[in-house]
Amino acid sequence: MPKECRVEAFRTELRRRGLPRRYAGRAAQELAEHWEDLRQEAELTGVSSEEAELFANDTLGNWDQLAAAFHAAHFKGSLPVRYSFMFFFFGPLLLFTVLCVSLFAFGAMAGYLAGWWGSGSSLNARDWAMLGVGVRAGHAGTVIITQAAFCWLAWRYRLGLRGATYSAVGLSMYSMIHQVTYRTPSMGNRGALLWTFGLGDDLWSGIALFVSLAALSWLISKRLSKATHRRLGLGMRGLMSDGSET
Amino acid sequence: MKTPNPNFVNGVPELLLLQLLSDREMYGYELVKAIQERTSGLLAFGEGCVYPILHALEQDGAVKSQRREMVGRTRNYYRLTGRGKRRLVALSADWDRAVRGVSLVLGGQHA
């Protein structure tokens, strides 16, 4: 195979393994330059160009094994791989909190500008009920988005089920210590949106909600992981957590 | 309690690369040639494997790379950082301890 085709195939292989385009390009470029140095070194000894290319190919090493080594090295140094428990257990809690606060702050601001709050509110009872549904849906959606994001990261860094499970457990445990309560306003009652920490009355429904959502995401993650392993032609266990292949 | 050292064997290529880069900055091909020269060709390996190790060292902040043109060819030059120097000292100490330990087991013949 000509050098250019081999280098391009190598670059494509790195991309298939989920490495960033820029890194794949750099790795391919460095190997191509090394290959060229080896070829020139061989030619200086007076061998033919075909023999020099053969020498360069043999000396550089097996390209498939090199792709696996680049893949392992790239992910080994990354934060999610090096500190996988910390990243996948506490990361979702941070993202979930930030998303929730942002969502509710945005809603509060939008409602203020639209004149929904206060005594002169333009909302009727039905609107308030719809708003309550929206708050709950937003809360549940935030959980789904958070877990989906970390499932994707687990797949991206080839941590698969391990990362997704940490994330699912973290979110489930989080559900035990926080509650979001929404009370629809009525006559003489302004209504309220409460976000509290600590063990509350609604503990079990909170747990059920989070665990079921996390389990659903866990299954999605499992499917993603299997599809990737099939695509890369790896075995059942696929890539180990440290990036090496089984 | 002494912590186990998983790099006992795996850290050897790192140690060699860091040691060579402590002398001067080099690019991948130069590093491989320097290893072959200094070990009199005793260490044989697929030469491409130095790059993943260099990239991992770069991710750890032990080395820095810079693309530079030299004699009509553009290459990635690697140089040691402060963190790399500290790592070299630690890896050298680990290696020295390992060699002394193995030598003791072998009856001091190789010390």
Q: Would you list the DSSP string of B37-77?
A: HHTTT-----GGGHHHHHHHHHHTTSEEEEEEEETTEEEEE
pLDDT on residue A150 = 86
Neighbours of A218 (CB within 10 A): 20
CA pair distance A238, A244, nearest whole angstrom: 9
Q: Which of B45, B55, B75 sits opposite A73 (nearest CB)?
A: B55
* Cα B7 off chain centre by: 12
Check if the beta carbon of residue B85 is closer than 8 Å to that of residue B22: yes
Residue A241 has pLDDT above 60, yes or no: no
pLDDT on residue B51 = 93
Please list every residue in chain B whose beta carbon sits closer than 8 Å to the beta carbon of residue A19: none
pLDDT on residue A240 = 34
Please list every residue in chain A whose beta carbon sits closer than 8 Å to the beta carbon of residue B32: 34
* Cα B35 off chain centre by: 9
Angstroms from A59 CA to nearest CA on chain B: 6
Q: What is the average per-residue pLDDT within A48-72? A: 88
Segment holding A178, helix H or strand E: strand A178-183
More confident residue, A191 or A36: A36
Q: Percent of chain A having pLDDT more than 70? A: 73
Check if the beta carbon of residue A81 is closer than 8 Å to that of residue A242: yes
Q: Are strands B63-70 and A178-183 parallel, antiparallel or unpaired?
A: unpaired
Please list every residue in chain A whose beta carbon sits closer than 8 Å to the beta carbon of residue B53: 73
Burial class (CB in 10 A: 0-12, 13-18, 19+), A161: middle
User: Mean pLDDT per 10-residue run, chain B (111 residues)?
Assistant: 49 91 94 91 83 91 91 89 96 91 78 49
Q: Percent of chain A having pLDDT more than 90? A: 12
pLDDT band at residue A78 using 50, 70 and 90 as cut-offs: confident
Reduced to 3 states (helix: H, G, I; strand: E, B; else coil), residue A196 is strand
Q: Which range is least confidently modeled, A43-57, A94-108, A230-244? A: A230-244
pLDDT on residue A180 = 67
pLDDT on residue A199 = 62
| B53 lies within 8 A of chain A by CB | yes
Residue A73 has pLDDT above 90, yes or no: no
Residue A67 has pLDDT above 80, yes or no: yes
- Tens digit of each residue's pLDDT (9 = 90 or more) over A139-187: 778 888 888 888 888 877 877 677 777 887 787 777 766 666 666 655 5
pLDDT band at residue A238 using 50, 70 and 90 as cut-offs: very low
| B61 lies within 8 A of chain A by CB | no
More confident residue, A224 or A230: A224
Residue A122 has pLDDT above 90, yes or no: no
ipTM of the shown complex: 0.84
B56/A73 touch (CB, cutoff 8 Å), yes or no: yes
Check if the beta carbon of residue A161 is closer than 8 Å to that of residue A222: yes
pLDDT on residue A229 = 59
| B76 lies within 8 A of chain A by CB | yes
